[in-house]
Amino acid sequence: MATEILKLKDQFIEFLTGKKRARATIVAYSKDIEQLLTFLGNAGKDTIEAISKDELEAFLKKLKSDNYTPKSISRKINSIKTFFRFLKSNGHLKTDPASELEHPKFESKPPRILSRMEYRALRDACRGDIRMYAIVELFLQTGIRIGELANLTLDDLKDAELHIAAQEGHIERTVPLNRAGKDACSKYIEIRGTDTKNKALFITKTGKGLLIRNIRTAIDRYFRIAGIEGAKVNDLRHTFIAHHLMAGTPITTLSKLVGHKRISTTEKYLELVKGKQLDNVKLEEL
């Protein structure tokens, strides 16, 4: 691949970093564009001007033949479209060859809501791991996103509140910590300490901040231990929202707690909980 195109890719990654995109997003975009550029280089396209919609569609066709799922291909299209919009807006291209790329259709599964028995099983499974227990409690008690949790610092945890910084289009907010969340975090801080150089709230044994992939892998492991099938990390956030709706939390309040920009996003969960009750579970027991 020509040095010129590689430099443009590096400039694109610097642009994303300057926009304070999540680390996981930047890594994913970088890998997607690198994969595309390798394909184009093998096809003899060594300048950015030589790339047309036909080459981009050939790349997508190759992904399909390599058994990438429609959802994965759609995510890569997002990366490609963002990359070429960047190139055009910065004067590297006069026309955008990716502008008319169409996303493949795929069915989105509804959010998975953990039952009372499941979330208790998950808590029991990780109770002996103080760090992971605190992470699970924060997910269940605040509805925080995984990227937001990975970016938490010691300074973000204060008494009965958790400060969540603005990130990648998500709004800054402060959410209250109930007794269950406070207790779990306090026990973790006791073993973590506060005198380390790394200010990340959740750190590894070597003092490095936990990455999103570390958190996801650990949660998946405890899902298996707890015997919970078909669940992902984001389903802990879905569970928080659903159970609050079932408990009668005002939708406007809940929307602010979870950082939804539009109340309509929160309203989508109403169909999931229609006719369901919280089964006498206190929210602090989630």
CATH number of the domain that residue 17 is part of: 1.10.150.130
Q: Is residue 189 one of the residues assigned to a domain? A: yes
| Cα first-last separation, the chain | 52
Give residue 280's pLDDT. Answer: 43
**Contacts by residues 209-215 (CB-CB < 8 Å, ≥ 24 positions apart):** 209/150, 210/150, 211/23, 211/24, 211/150, 212/22, 212/23, 212/24, 212/146, 212/147, 212/150, 213/24, 215/135, 215/146, 215/149, 215/150
| Over residues 190-204, mean pLDDT | 88
Do residues 153 and 238 share a domain?
yes
pTM of the prediction? 0.70
User: Does residue 150 contact residue 209 with C-beta atoms inside 8 Å?
Assistant: yes
Backbone φ, ψ for residue 164 (5° rounding): -115, 115
Same domain, 125 and 16: no
CATH code of the domain covering residue 181: 1.10.443.10
Enclosing domain of residue 78: 3-89
Q: Which residue has the tokens 């184009």?
A: 40
Same domain, 133 and 62: no
In a domain, 106, yes or no: no
Q: Are residues 159 and 266 in the same domain?
A: yes
Specify whether 127 is located in the same domain as 43. Answer: no
Sign of the CA dihedral running 116, 122, 128, 129: negative
- Find the range with the poorest average confidence among 48-52, 93-97, 274-278: 274-278
Give pLDDT, residue 79: 94
Same-domain pairing of 24 and 81:
yes
How far is Cα 228 from Cα 226, in angstroms, rounded to an integer? 6
Number of Cβ atoms within 10 Å of the Cβ of 182: 18
Are 77 and 153 found together in one domain?
A: no
Give the pLDDT mean for 85-114.
88
Residue 129 has pLDDT above 80, yes or no: yes
Q: Do 227 and 146 fall within a single domain?
A: yes
Residue 108 lies in a domain: no
What is the per-residue pLDDT for 285? 52
Of residues 2 and 96, more confidently modeled: 96
| pLDDT higher than threshold 90 for residue 286 | no
How many domains are contained in the chain?
A: 2
Residues 40-90 pLDDT 10s = 988 888 788 888 999 999 999 999 999 999 989 999 999 999 999 999 999
Q: Which two tokens stand for residue 44?
A: 């003899």
Selection from 107, 148, 130 nearest residue 22 by Cα = 148
Residue 179 belongs to a domain: yes
| Chain mean pLDDT for the chain | 88
What is the per-residue pLDDT for 23? Answer: 75
Q: Is residue 97 part of a domain?
A: no
pLDDT tens, position by position, 218-229: 999 999 999 999
In a domain, 107, yes or no: no
Task: Check: CB of residue 110 under 8 Å from CB of residue 232.
Answer: no
The residue among 23, 54, 89 that closes a domain is: 89
What is the pLDDT confidence band of residue 14, given thresholds at 50, 70 and 90? Answer: very high
Whether 38 and 120 share a structural domain: no
Q: Average pLDDT, stretch 31-42?
A: 92
